A = this chain, B = another copy of it.
């Protein structure tokens, strides 16, 4: 499967999150075998868990499946720039590549604010590719927050 297809699936998870009245962010994690190991969207409200961002859910699911806290050679596709919490978790999990769609000026931790991967306290940084499928991901987020106001 090509990269845009994984992002399309992440976007589908974001749409499902919106349908659950969660902030519409979705993520897909792909193993070194090129297969999807986990896919999910935000569930902070449903699970009453402030850490239940899409990225953390798929990292935890893939690590549990693999039986290791290190996801060597795994790639993550997410519809929004990860926050500092998720960026640090990606680093701890030793992910290979991060693909994200929309930028997040308000909460982002990769290209904004802490820029976690550039910190001296970051000991593993994935390769980062931003902007894939940005328009669709942004439209979904904008619509969600417009409806809430």
| Among candidates B69, B87, B119, residue contacting A48 with C-beta atoms closer than 8 Å | B69
Chain A's interface size range is: 35 or more
Copies in the complex: 2
**Cα distance A123–B109 in the bound complex, in angstroms:** 13
**Among listed A110-118, A129-137, A140-148, interface-contacting one:** A110-118
A84–B119 Cα distance when bound, in Å, is 10
Chain B residues whose C-beta falls within 8 Å of the C-beta of A113 in the assembled complex: 114, 116, 119-122
How far is A83 from B47 in the complex, measured between Cα atoms in Å? 23
A121 CA / B87 CA spacing, docked (Å):
13
Which of A1-9, A12-20, A24-32, A55-63 faces chain B? A55-63
The answer to the question of A35 belonging to the interface, with a C-beta cut-off of 8 Å to chain B, is no
Which residues on B sit within 8 Å (CB–CB) of A59? 50-51
Q: A33: CB under 8 A from chain B?
A: no
- In residues 54-84 of chain A, which contact B (Cβ within 8 Å)? 56, 59-60, 63-64, 66-71, 83-84
User: Do A121 and B116 touch across chains, with their CB atoms under 8 A apart?
Assistant: no
- Closest B residue, CB atoms, query A69: B50
A101 CB to nearest B CB, Å = 18
Binding site for B on A (CB under 8 A): 44-45, 47-52, 56, 59-60, 63-64, 66-71, 83-89, 92-93, 106-109, 112-116, 119-123
